[in-house]
Amino acid sequence: MPRTEMSPPEPRRIHRAARLDDAFLAWRARRAVRRGLKPTAVTYTGYGSTSWVRVLGRVLYTHPNREDEATSRTRGWRSFTSIPVVSSTATVEIAGRQYEVVADRGGVIDAVISAELPPGWQTIRMSAQGSDPVTSDVYIVDPATRIGVISDIDDTVMVTALPRPFVAAWNTFVLDEHARTPVPGMAVLLDRLSRIQGGSPVIYLSTGAWNVAPTLRRFLSRHLYPPGALLLTDWGPTHDRIFRSGRAHKQENLRRLAAEFPNVKWILVGDDGQHDEELYSDFASELPENVSAVAIRQLSPGEAVLAGGRSNHEQHDAGHTWVYAPDGAGLLSELDKVISD
């Protein structure tokens, strides 16, 4: 099989919390095997260029007669009880050729594969060892594309009040996607932005865990948000710390997207309650040629209280358009000049 481009291996010395987590996952895996559960691939929307594809997915233990349970409609807490298959090998089929990829400590697959595909939406397939293949959509960015969209999720496209611990726990572990509220006008805004120049990539960048990816995907589809890749984080400790850094996750992916698509200027969409302004301002200052505009949704007074506050002043920087409004309609009105250009 052709070799795939993989991320560097994780350091051998890991945090004690991560070692305990690994031991717990190993115990759960042994129980899963004894119960007859089998590895199953779960795919997430990916993206790429005409010469490579970023493949995203996860390998979980599921009952062989209910392989769709990994993506079935369940309440949030159930998604966190899934059992990942650690460091497992999966097969990805792209344009008739097969490639092997390896999952990480959380069963997450995030691999870049050299492959030639035409621009637009394409379909690939992934399968875990001994399981039937499942399909996944990937968006291949046209080399002529010059505009892309990166959007936050929590309090930007849907109201969750995520920073408040008790509300966050309720939204994440109890409610399903039907109980989450879309932000008025944001679906129209992102859909309009996705149609610039005949088709622009949309990336949903969030600090949420991969466990809730199926719920988020159903929410976005139900409320007519444009399809796009979800870039989330894994649940649990990392090799060097107990809690993962959501800020670092966003910074790394912003820089990665800028490096992967050096000719694309990104319209950054976020809110004024989760440090999006500061992150986007730093990114625009660091890589000004990769930013087209910044659109910030202003939280209502009630949402700001639940979110733990909001920024005290609007951000601006030389050379970029910053727009502020409480909903998608207001942001779209302010961005009309950027879109028309």
- The one-digit pLDDT tens for each residue of the chain (341 residues) are 444 444 444 545 555 555 666 676 666 767 776 777 888 899 999 999 999 999 999 999 887 765 454 554 445 545 556 788 888 899 999 999 999 999 988 889 999 999 999 999 999 999 998 788 999 999 999 999 999 999 999 889 988 655 555 555 555 555 566 667 899 999 999 999 999 888 899 999 998 888 888 888 999 999 999 999 999 987 654 444 444 567 899 999 999 999 999 999 999 999 988 689 999 999 999 999 999 999 999 988 777 665 555 665 566 676 899 999 999 999 999 998 767 66
Q: 122, 140, 158 — which closes off a domain?
A: 140
Q: 140, 174, 194 — which closes off a domain?
A: 140
CATH code of residue 33: 2.60.40.10
Are residue 163 and residue 178 in the same domain, yes or no?
Answer: yes
* Closest to 122 in 3D by CA, of 176, 48, 214, 63: 48
Burial-class residue 91 by CB neighbours within 10 Å (0-12, 13-18, 19+). middle
Are residue 221 and residue 314 in the same domain, yes or no?
Answer: yes
Give the domain extent around 53: 16-140
Task: Name beta bridge partners: 114.
Answer: 52
CB atoms within 10 A of CB 129: 13
Question: Residue 2: inside a domain, yes or no?
Answer: no
Are residue 154 and residue 129 in the same domain, yes or no?
Answer: no
Question: Residue 125: inside a domain, yes or no?
Answer: yes
Tally of domains in the chain: 2
Instruction: Kindly state the tokens that stand for 242.
Output: 């107990």
H or E segment to which residue 59 belongs: strand 52-62
Are residue 121 and residue 189 in the same domain, yes or no?
Answer: no
Q: 93, 124, 140 — which closes off a domain?
A: 140
| Whole-structure pTM value | 0.84
